[in-house]
């Protein structure tokens, strides 16, 4: 079993820090292809949200086809950003995911970064394991900041867009939903959104789950979700929110892969640089139409704790 | 000056038919690339709406860079569809557009088909001419059915999407609005919609004119608009309606080509084969959420008569 190795440091003294919430749990789904070479706005913000260069950051790269390479890439970037303590959360199989070693590593983390790859590969490894529960404990009780890019973003929600075609127009069951990590309980996250023209795909899953919010995140763009507080868009593109709570569709009347009729979807386009706070009286709160306040409320609502 | 020549027929006797509305004026914007070789569902429906094979159909091809070739192509197709009387509404210049000859041809038409090309070229020819007024008389008072494909669809609305980039995300003034023929007064029509990923572009103009309905029509797809009655989608794709009447955007606060924030857009996706009738009690009326009924009401509202 691998022991926690924090960069060049000895095993950490702060592993004994009491498990009190130091800050609100923050999530940071990233739409993939975040800048790792230039300004690295998103990764810098992640480090900041974790507590700055002194924060203990782990990289979970098991979604990747080559976890070691993915880890090394982020190790390099976080190093360049001045992070002192970066380690690989290297979960090799389900048994390992149930081990105390892995649990200890997870609970001893200020920020977890989940790399891209295949969200199903990651969930097959984590589902109903001790690691899964430890992630919830870390997030809900210890204020660990969790970011995920691409597949790592999709996996953050309870209802996870697992795979699927990207039809130009929405079709019944064009994409498959599966269970994800569940940090966001009322939204379904898609990534590479406007770059890969995934509106049709996200509308397809919204027809299936109109009680969910569809969240389409562009490349090099992140949605910072602060529990109970608000959201912020960081990076280069935008986040598209699709609210289907008043949707009328023909989902129940048609066969699989038939074209959907979708009436009454609400669309909000949130560009990078904007903040949407639920604090009454704030400038952004006043700017938001009530229907968007509700949608943001769904995003920042605490999900069920699965620890 | 060219005289009206109806295919192989002599000058028509029915030119003396009194100028009473024979049917409700119908519009048929087509998203471009309509099937002209196989089932030709859209062009067949156009012929039907004009009154069947006996209808007098004229082709206005002046938006095209090669009007004669465009006319010949449609002449062939309408001939294959059994139309007996097809003629070229060949308007050569602004003087010609002001001539009695052209006016007579327009008033002596059951169906006008406007080809693709450049909508600005067509409007430069027609703006404030007698031909322009005659088109309104033909449509509003004589029940002439007017179809337009691609540029010919864009030109049907009063506020016409003249040209513009197709940004992935909406930007202030990404596309330019100009004045069109004005048969639809409360909507802006875009074409090749999902094929060319024009959501960002249509949202851009919606931010400029949130009082308008954005109508995005896919290729080989048509929206049949029946004045005061309802709309129907015909062909292979879908029509995307964007309703910005409750939109909040940052349009006034940003510079040209800056990224737009757009909150509270309503999106309706109407697939081919669906009908949206404003007749209370009809099945489609019951299916429509009230907000969509309002939107369809805007589409079928009579515009100002410019005859």
Pick from B260, B266, B289: which is nearest to A271 by CB? Answer: B260
Using a CB–CB cutoff of 8 Å, tell me whether B208 touches chain A. no
Using a CB–CB cutoff of 8 Å, tell me whether B292 touches chain A. yes
Residue numbers in B near A170 (CB within 8 A): 269
Domain range list for chain A: 22-300
Q: What is the pLDDT of residues B118-170, one digit of tens each?
A: 999 999 999 999 999 999 999 999 999 999 999 999 999 999 999 888 999 99
Residue numbers in B near A259 (CB within 8 A): 238, 271-272
Does A289 sit within 8 Å of B264, measured CB to CB? Answer: yes
A131 vs A142: CA distance, rounded Å: 15
> Structure tokens of A8?
């060049």
Residue numbers in A near B246 (CB within 8 A): 289
Cα–Cα–Cα angle for A110, A116, A118, nearest 5°? 125
Mutate to test the interface with A, among B167, B271, B274, B293 (most CBs of A within 10 A): B271
Residue A173 backbone zone (phi > 0: left; psi -120 to 50: alpha; other: beta): left
Tell me whether 0.95 is exceeded by the ipTM.
no
> Structure tokens of A36?
């790792």
DSSP helix/strand/coil, B70:
helix
- Comparing CA positions, the residue from A46, A108, A106, A122 lying closest to residue A77 is A46
Does A267 sit within 8 Å of B170, measured CB to CB? Answer: no
User: Catalytic residue numbers of B?
Assistant: 150, 192, 219
Q: What is the CATH number of domain B24-300?
A: 3.40.50.880
> Structure tokens of A120?
């199903």
Question: pTM, whole model, 2 decimals?
Answer: 0.91
Cα–Cα–Cα angle for A75, A77, A79, nearest 5°? 65
Using a CB–CB cutoff of 8 Å, tell me whether B271 touches chain A. yes
Q: What is the pLDDT of residues B238-279, one digit of tens each?
A: 999 999 999 999 999 999 999 999 999 999 999 999 999 999
Pick from B263, B266, B287: which is nearest to A288 by CB? Answer: B263
Chain A, 136-175: which have a CB under 8 Å from a chain B CB? 168-170
Question: Angle between the A41-50 and A67-80 helix axes, to the nearest 10 degrees?
Answer: 80
Q: Sign of torsion, CA A301 A240 B285 B205?
A: positive
CA distance B182 to chain A (A): 27
Does A194 sit within 8 Å of B238, measured CB to CB? Answer: no
Query: pLDDT tens digits for chain A (307 residues)?
Result: 333 445 444 334 433 434 444 457 899 999 999 999 999 999 999 999 999 999 999 999 999 999 999 999 999 999 999 999 999 999 999 999 999 999 999 999 999 999 999 999 999 999 999 999 999 999 999 999 999 999 999 999 999 999 888 999 999 999 999 999 999 999 999 999 999 999 999 999 999 999 999 999 999 999 999 999 999 999 999 999 999 999 999 999 999 999 999 999 999 999 999 999 999 999 999 999 999 999 999 999 876 655 4
- Comparing CA positions, the residue from A127, A130, A149 lying closest to residue A138 is A130
Task: Specify the CATH number for A22-300; select among 3.30.70.600, 3.40.50.2300, 3.20.10.10, 3.40.50.880.
Answer: 3.40.50.880
DSSP helix/strand/coil, A264:
strand
Does B169 sit within 8 Å of A194, measured CB to CB? Answer: yes
């Amino acid at each position: 079993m691998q022991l926690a190795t924090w960069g060049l440091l000895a095993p950490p003294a702060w592993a004994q820090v009491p498990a009190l919430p130091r800050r609100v749990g923050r999530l940071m789904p990233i739409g993939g292809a975040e800048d790792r070479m230039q300004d690295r706005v998103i990764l810098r913000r992640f480090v900041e949200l974790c507590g700055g260069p002194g924060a203990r950051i782990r990289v979970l790269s098991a979604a990747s086809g080559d976890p070691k390479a993915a880890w090394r890439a982020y190790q390099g970037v976080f190093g360049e950003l001045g992070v002192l303590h970066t380690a690989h959360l290297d979960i090799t199989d389900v048994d390992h995911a149930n081990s105390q070693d892995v649990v200890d590593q997870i609970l001893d983390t200020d920020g977890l970064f989940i790399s891209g790859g295949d969200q199903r590969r990651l969930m097959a490894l984590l589902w109903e394991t001790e690691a899964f529960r430890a992630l919830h404990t870390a997030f809900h009780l210890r204020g660990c900041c969790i970011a995920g890019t691409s597949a790592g973003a999709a996996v953050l929600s309870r209802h996870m867009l697992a795979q699927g075609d990207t039809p130009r127009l929405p079709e019944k069951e064009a994409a498959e939903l599966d269970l994800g990590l569940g940090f966001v309980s009322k939204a379904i996250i898609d990534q590479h959104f406007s770059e890969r023209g995934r509106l049709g795909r996200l509308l397809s899953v919204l027809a299936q789950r109109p009680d969910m919010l569809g969240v389409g995140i562009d490349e090099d763009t992140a949605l910072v979700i602060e529990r109970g507080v608000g959201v912020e868009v960081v990076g280069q593109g935008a986040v598209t929110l699709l609210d289907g709570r008043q949707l009328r569709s023909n989902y129940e009347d048609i066969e699989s892969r038939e074209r959907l009729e979708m009436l009454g979807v609400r669309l909000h386009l949130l560009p990078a640089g904007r903040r949407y706070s639920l604090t009454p009286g704030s400038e952004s709160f006043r700017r938001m139409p009530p229907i968007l306040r509700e949608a943001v409320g769904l995003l920042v609502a605490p999900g069920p704790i699965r620890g």
